[in-house]
Amino acid sequence: MSHPTIVFLEQLLQALQEKKIVMAHLRYKPLTEEVAFEGDYDFITAPGQTDTILQILFDLASVSKIDFVVNRSKYGKLMIYLYSGSDTRPILLEIWSHLDVRRESQTLGYILWEDIRAYVVHDEVKGDLLMPELEGLYYLSHLKSKKKDLSVPLIQTRLEYYKEKMAAISQEYSGWFAILLDAPHKRDEIASKANAALVKMGVLFTPKDAEKRAEVQKLRLRISMHRIYAQWLKKVKIIPVVGPDGVGKTSIIETLKKRSRSKIKYYRFKNLFRHGLLYQTLALFLRRGEAKKVEKNQYDDLYGDWMVRIASLRYPFLLLVAVLGKRFFFSDRFFQDLIIQDTRFLERKAHLREEWKALLKMSPRTFWFIHLDAPTEVILARKDELNAEAIDCYRRDVFTMYLQKPSLLYSYVNTDQPIEVCAEHLIQAAKAVGIKANVS
């Protein structure tokens, strides 16, 4: 029987094909347990397909009890970690919208999707693939770009594979792999030859091409700006933990505190606006218009747009406390909770507020965002405070807001599994923000 994570990945790739999303393997790897958890699955796709891919991933994961992490801290690269059940080993997907090439005087240093698209072919069994000559030549270039050690057994196996595969296409190309098997020190020399061949194919360009040079310069600027932004955002040590009542936010945060050597503080997001003088003053006026007394949570729901504004004014003070205290603040709820309307009224249908995009712009972005979920019936069995429609809306709309304003690290965790399993999946992601796990 196939491993659940592998089954899920097969379903994901099939769903993408059905939606006509072209996501080509850079180097095909079979979906078997022997190789799935070793290394990663590399793909390239069109830059504008990212949100569609993530939406399909979310739709499948939310009904399959699959946890996943999305890391987009590098521009043009989407890293997706898939987890199932108690298995702490992820399957890693790396999805690129461009390819890096070690910059040389005669090349621009990047291969763009628009130039590679014509070399993508479809296989009924394996899915979308690069044509063999492009796959092989790019692999040679990649060896130099990443300064690969050619003595590694996996690389030796790949060199043998490509030597045989390229023999039917070009004896010259096949010979380059044969040379590297006998003379690894010629890696850079052979990579330069491969780059020249990529130029002839029209997928890699030289500085003489003014149009492509301008495109690459724009890309290089975006990459640099994104890197600077990611480094700055990583210093924001506030981490939202969102999910409906009964999903286990408090339990997760307390478990992470026990699992971590870093300083972690539990923080109630409601304190950010309820304890402010502006909130108290506003309540005196707004409550007068209510025909009957409403609970605090219902009041916050009714006037969530005002709560977002109040919280956004006070947020910088929380940020300052977190930075000066050198602690990670895990916030139980966040601005997204206030942007969803009518979750606190059982007789109403929950929905995003009409001005949700404007409110979301007002809300601060964080490096890491944790989205907790569980089957609707499980949440209702734990705490009967929301109706089923509100829970379903919450699940869907929190992800909609993430796509609209993405954090660089996003974790989706289904809490219908042991708390230690949830915490393990999160503590692995926590390394990306500098949280250190306890040594077992």
Q: DSSP label at 365?
A: P
* Average predicted confidence (pLDDT) for the chain: 92
pLDDT tens profile 172-206: 999 999 999 999 999 999 999 999 999 999 999 99
Is residue 350 situated within a structural domain?
Answer: yes
Q: Are residue 168 and residue 74 in the same domain, yes or no? A: yes
Whether pLDDT at 362 is above 70: yes
Is residue 438 situated within a structural domain?
Answer: no
DSSP for 229-296, please give it.
HHHHHTT--EEEEE--TTS-HHHHHHHHHHHBSS-EEEEETTHHHHTSHHHHHHHHHHGGG-SS---H
Q: Are residue 377 and residue 267 in the same domain, yes or no? A: yes
Per-residue pLDDT, averaged over 83-107, amounts to 88
Is residue 214 situated within a structural domain?
Answer: no
Distance CA 21, CA 14 (A): 10
CATH code of the domain covering residue 423 = 3.40.50.300
Is residue 218 situated within a structural domain?
Answer: no
Q: Are residue 245 and residue 203 in the same domain, yes or no? A: no
Of 29, 26, 23, which Cα lies nearest the Cα of 157?
29
Q: Tokens 């923080």 label which residue?
A: 267
Distance CA 82, CA 59 (A): 14
Of 252, 279, 222, which Cα lies nearest the Cα of 72?
222
Of 101, 393, 117, 430, which Cα lies nearest the Cα of 262?
430
Is residue 283 situated within a structural domain?
Answer: yes
Whether pLDDT at 421 is above 80: yes
pLDDT tens profile 240-283: 999 999 999 999 999 999 999 999 999 999 999 888 777 777 77
392 near 244, Cβ under 8 Å?
A: no
Confidence of residue 427 (pLDDT cuts 50, 70, 90): very high
Q: Are residue 381 and residue 270 in the same domain, yes or no? A: yes
Is residue 227 situated within a structural domain?
Answer: no
Kindly state the helix (H) or strand (E) to which residue 383 belongs, with its residue range: none
Pull the structure tokens for residue 302.
């009714």
Per-residue pLDDT, averaged over 20-47, amounts to 93
**Domain housing 307:** 234-433
Q: Are residue 418 and residue 304 in the same domain, yes or no? A: yes
For the chain, how many structural domains are there in total?
2
Is residue 415 situated within a structural domain?
Answer: yes
Q: Are residue 325 and residue 382 in the same domain, yes or no? A: yes
CATH code of the domain covering residue 55 = 3.30.460
263 near 326, Cβ under 8 Å?
A: yes
Is residue 63 situated within a structural domain?
Answer: yes
Q: Are residue 290 and residue 150 in the same domain, yes or no? A: no
More confident residue, 54 or 323: 54
Per-residue pLDDT, averaged over 119-138, amounts to 94
Q: Are residue 250 and residue 192 in the same domain, yes or no? A: no
Please report the pLDDT score of residue 106 as a whole number. Answer: 80
Give the residue from 209, 244, 271 where a domain finishes: 209
Q: Are residue 421 and residue 375 in the same domain, yes or no? A: yes
Given 3-state DSSP classes, what are the helix, strand and coil percentages for the chain, each rounded to the nearest 5? 55, 15, 30
272 near 315, Cβ under 8 Å?
A: yes
Q: Are residue 168 and residue 98 in the same domain, yes or no? A: yes
